Amino acid sequence: MTKFTDWLGIDIPIIQAPMAGAAASAMVVAVSNAGGLGSIGCATLSPEALRTELQAIRAGTRRPFNVNFFCHTPPPMDAERERTWRAALAPYHRQYGIDPDKIPAGPGRAPFSAEAADLLEDIKPAVVSFHFGLPPAALLARVKAMGAKTFCSATTVAEAIWLEAQGIDVIIAQGVEAGGHRGMFLTDDLTTQIGTFALLPQIVKAVKVPVVAAGGIADARGVAAALSMGAAAAQVGTAYLLCPEATITPIHRAALKSDAARHTALTNLFTGRPARGIVNRVMRELGPMSSAAPAFPLATSAIVPLRAKAEAEGSGDFTPLWSGQNATGCKEIPAAQLTRELATAL
Amino acid sequence: MTKFTDWLGIDIPIIQAPMAGAAASAMVVAVSNAGGLGSIGCATLSPEALRTELQAIRAGTRRPFNVNFFCHTPPPMDAERERTWRAALAPYHRQYGIDPDKIPAGPGRAPFSAEAADLLEDIKPAVVSFHFGLPPAALLARVKAMGAKTFCSATTVAEAIWLEAQGIDVIIAQGVEAGGHRGMFLTDDLTTQIGTFALLPQIVKAVKVPVVAAGGIADARGVAAALSMGAAAAQVGTAYLLCPEATITPIHRAALKSDAARHTALTNLFTGRPARGIVNRVMRELGPMSSAAPAFPLATSAIVPLRAKAEAEGSGDFTPLWSGQNATGCKEIPAAQLTRELATAL
């Protein structure tokens, strides 16, 4: 195998994790121009916003970047489950004066689509990555045909083996420490989700394609350790969240800088799928994992108005405060500088 | 700080994890004579067995070794909870023809005691380590007065800071990947239990005493990675379980060698406290964490007869198949050789 960075055309084996809603074109451009691989998470972008963002990245850098998509199958609406969910949230809706009959459909998350593939054919990103498994075979074939390198998250050895069999170029071993959504797709059993120290070497042993380490990697020593355990590169998310380029709210920034960041949990309350965030009021009161939450992404709509009302009062009680299990690597420095610092122990 | 191995009087920064019931004097002697730190877990030993084992170790090696104790407060018997627990197990008791009225008190686990301290004063081990927090102050003072170095597991940053304040010499950062019992003692919230990649650097930053990395470390590259992240030594447990010196059953050995070892979970079914083992029938059917299980160690008595009956038929359906999240480092080689191999990437 050619050296991974050469093959990819980057200088530094650091991938800024795609974080839908938390990092946009400015972050991607900064990281890629610094020699790493910037990534844009597209799951929350409208088709128009996706086009605008991709054009901004293309205008800002000639270096490789990564365009990331969710690959879930949107579930049918389940009226009974939606009722159960709204009943669980009813005390909060009353507290904030929200009329549950007037809650609009939530922003949700859209999976990779033919329209997105059309756009990619214009932009020709070096890397297209997937979360929650892969798109339908025809769509995946289009991505490969356009010459993009394909990456996908695996949270278990079985998922890694499956992805290699589908012809994916690079597997991201997502340890349970990682912030945001678990990429799990062959199981919904959270006990299968294991730590990076255990997951990374087992996936490295199980597949022949390059493996990127993700989850809990927050500083230069962590990056070096991951590479010494066989990773071709390290994917770092949380550490970028205090960079000026991050698009998170002041409430989220404050939470990351506080002692509260020491305690995260996997929660399905914000979207319906387990994702790691800093424990806040709604997670404490409903339990971070609730059987009342509708399937991804349908849980979103009923909780979003609470977030808006609470944030207007300066509260993060209903905000998804996405974070990995080690926020101590967060620095209020430009993303380019952080990218270079992360590589200083290599 | 003097180099950790010099300070401890060992050659190799590898600690064979104490594993009560799974490793006895032969393992300890082999590891310590190979230059690592052998450890004996004493929680399941009677006072007589403890004396015999410690004398066997003392006779077998002049090198430092580690004597490990649990430090729980035995709970009062709770008749109501015991009834609930026996009701949960009743279908299994019927299947195996076990009369629930004739179940004897289980072997349980004894915490560190004045009697054990008496014995240690005769044997003078180099290291005394604790799990589930610390013994009462007077007992801890006796251990320090006999010149032993004191180690204790921390599963959170808060526990590490607390242990340092109590004057503990070395903190073991036990990542959630680790097999066997979680050492947690300031919380019983499992969402606080984090991966080694996230826990180790945060504890290293938070305390001044040496930190030992534990959890998911299964091979030489893992050992080197842990040390590169600031650990003074690596504690390895699961990888030793197929060594000839291990005292586990053939059923446990077979499980570790099978694909089943890829899926472990934290379970309180076997003792009442969360401990990591390979998922088996009783964990699947009752759920690995059950509110019906009595407080540690009282859950043990009603499940032990099931284990005995099932094992007599060659089944591990009711056996605690303790394992960490990475069993791929297990090798059927002598413990001394494994100890040396674990240090080959340093």
Q: What is the mean pLDDT of chain B?
A: 96
Could you tell me which residues are beta bridge partners of residue A69?
A: A130
Distance from CA of B96 to the nearest CA of A (A): 29
The alpha-carbon radius of gyration of chain A (Å, integer) is 19
In a domain, B248, yes or no: no
Q: Distance between CA A223 and CA B28 in Å, rounded?
A: 34
Q: Which of A195, A224, A228 sits opposite B176 (nearest CB)?
A: A195
Distance of CA A124 to the CA centre of its chain: 21
Q: Distance between CA A222 and CA B197 in Å, rounded?
A: 7
pLDDT reading at B105 higher than 80: no
* CATH (domain of A16): 3.20.20.70
Q: How confident is the model at residue B192 (pLDDT cuts 50, 70, 90)?
A: very high
pLDDT tens-digit readout, B250-302: 999 999 999 999 999 999 999 999 999 999 999 999 999 999 999 999 999 99
Check CB contact under 8 Å for B264 and A157: no
In a domain, B261, yes or no: yes
Q: Distance between CA A300 and CA A281 in Å, rounded?
A: 17
Distance from CA of B125 to the nearest CA of A (A): 31
* A218 contacts in chain B (CB < 8 Å): 198, 201
Encoded tokens for B225: 């990675």
pLDDT reading at B52 higher than 90: yes
Identify the DSSP state of A72.
P
- Which range marks the domain in which residue A40 is found? 1-72+109-243+331-346
The whole-number pLDDT of residue B322 equals 98
How big is the CA angle at A88 (ends A85 and A91), to the nearest 5 degrees? 135
Pair B270, B239 in one domain: no
Q: Distance between CA A322 and CA A303 in Å, rounded?
A: 15
The whole-number pLDDT of residue A121 equals 96
Q: Which of B194, B197, B266 sits opposite A217 (nearest CB)?
A: B197
The whole-number pLDDT of residue B1 equals 43
Pair A299, A257 in one domain: yes
Check CB contact under 8 Å for A222 and B197: yes
Pair B140, B103 in one domain: no
Partner A, chain B 250-289, Cβ-Cβ below 8 Å: 262-266, 279, 288
Q: Please, where are the H alpha helices in A61-188? A: 79-95, 114-123, 137-145, 157-165
Using the Cβ of A173 and the Cβ atoms of chain B, whether some distance falls under 8 Å is answered with no
Pair A45, A164 in one domain: yes
The whole-number pLDDT of residue A105 equals 73
Could you tell me which residues are beta bridge partners of residue B181?
A: B275
Residue of B191, B197, B284, B290 to mutate, interface with A, max A Cβ within 10 Å: B197
Check CB contact under 8 Å for A201 and B326: yes
The alpha-carbon radius of gyration of chain B (Å, integer) is 19
Q: Distance between CA A162 and CA A172 in Å, rounded?
A: 13
Distance from CA of A330 to the nearest CA of B (A): 13
Pair A126, A97 in one domain: no
Q: Distance between CA B88 and CA B108 in Å, rounded?
A: 19
Q: How far is CA A318 from CA A9, A278, B223, in A?
A: 41, 11, 41
Nearest to B215 by CA among B266, B169, B279: B266
Q: Which of B225, B324, B326 sits opposite A228 (nearest CB)?
A: B225
Check CB contact under 8 Å for B177 and A191: no
Q: Are strands B264-267 and B275-278 parallel, antiparallel or unpaired?
A: antiparallel
Instruction: Say which residues have a Cβ less than 8 Å from residue A225's Cβ, sequence separation at least 6.
Output: B197, B225, B226, B228, B229
Q: Which chain B residue's Cα is nearest to A238?
A: B198
Using the Cβ of A103 and the Cβ atoms of chain B, whether some distance falls under 8 Å is answered with no
Type and span of the H or E element at B11: none
CB A233 within 8 A of CB A212: yes
Could you tell me which residues are beta bridge partners of residue A170?
A: A151
Pair A123, A178 in one domain: yes
The percent of residues in chain B predicted with pLDDT above 90, rounded, is 96
Q: Which segments of A176-263 are extended strands (E)? A: 180-181, 211-214, 233-236
Burial (CB count within 10 angstroms: exposed 0-12, middle 13-18, buried 19+), residue B182: buried
pLDDT tens-digit readout, B214-225: 999 999 999 999
Q: Which of B226, B279, B325 sits opposite A195 (nearest CB)?
A: B325
Burial (CB count within 10 angstroms: exposed 0-12, middle 13-18, buried 19+), residue A124: exposed
The whole-number pLDDT of residue A1 equals 44
The pLDDT of B299-310, averaged and rounded, is 96
Pair B282, B208 in one domain: no
**DSSP, residue by residue, A16-43:** EPP-TTTB-HHHHHHHHHTTSBEEEE-T
CB A30 within 8 A of CB A245: yes
Note whether ipTM > 0.90 here: yes
Check CB contact under 8 Å for B202 and A326: yes
Q: Which of B195, B205, B328 sits opposite A197 (nearest CB)?
A: B195
Q: Distance between CA A126 and CA B2 in Å, rounded?
A: 49
Q: Distance between CA B194 and CA B177 in Å, rounded?
A: 8
Distance from CA of B172 to the nearest CA of A (A): 16
The whole-number pLDDT of residue B104 equals 80
Partner A, chain B 293-322, Cβ-Cβ below 8 Å: none
Q: Which segments of chain A are extended strands (E)? A: 14-16, 38-41, 65-70, 127-131, 149-154, 170-174, 180-181, 211-214, 233-236, 264-267, 275-278
Pair B201, B260 in one domain: no
Pair A140, A223 in one domain: yes
Q: What is the pLDDT along chain A (346 residues), one digit of tens a residue?
A: 459 999 999 999 999 999 999 999 999 999 999 999 999 999 999 999 999 999 999 999 999 999 999 999 999 989 999 999 999 999 999 999 999 999 987 667 889 999 999 999 999 999 999 999 999 999 999 999 999 999 999 999 999 999 999 999 999 999 999 999 999 999 999 999 999 999 999 999 999 999 999 999 999 999 999 999 999 999 999 999 999 999 999 999 999 999 999 999 999 999 999 999 999 999 999 999 999 999 999 999 999 999 999 999 999 999 999 999 999 999 999 999 999 999 999 9
Pair B124, B199 in one domain: yes
Pair B99, B115 in one domain: no
Q: Distance between CA B229 and CA B326 in Å, rounded?
A: 19
* B222 contacts in chain A (CB < 8 Å): 197, 201, 229
Check CB contact under 8 Å for A195 and B192: no
CB B235 within 8 A of CB B15: yes
* A264 contacts in chain B (CB < 8 Å): 191, 194
Neighbouring C-beta atoms of residue A292, cutoff 10 Å: 18
Encoded tokens for A210: 């390059």
Pair B119, B191 in one domain: yes
Using the Cβ of B205 and the Cβ atoms of chain A, whether some distance falls under 8 Å is answered with yes
The whole-number pLDDT of residue B108 equals 76
Check CB contact under 8 Å for A202 and B326: yes
Partner A, chain B 55-84, Cβ-Cβ below 8 Å: none
Instruction: Say which residues have a Cβ less than 8 Å from residue B292's Cβ, sequence separation at least 6.
Output: B81, B84, B85, B87, B88, B286
The whole-number pLDDT of residue B2 equals 56
Using the Cβ of B225 and the Cβ atoms of chain A, whether some distance falls under 8 Å is answered with yes
Q: How confident is the model at residue B107 (pLDDT cuts 50, 70, 90)?
A: low
Least reliable range by pLDDT among A104-113, A294-303, B63-72, B127-136 = A104-113
Check CB contact under 8 Å for B217 and A197: yes
Q: Distance between CA A214 and CA A199 in Å, rounded?
A: 10
Number of domain units in chain B: 2
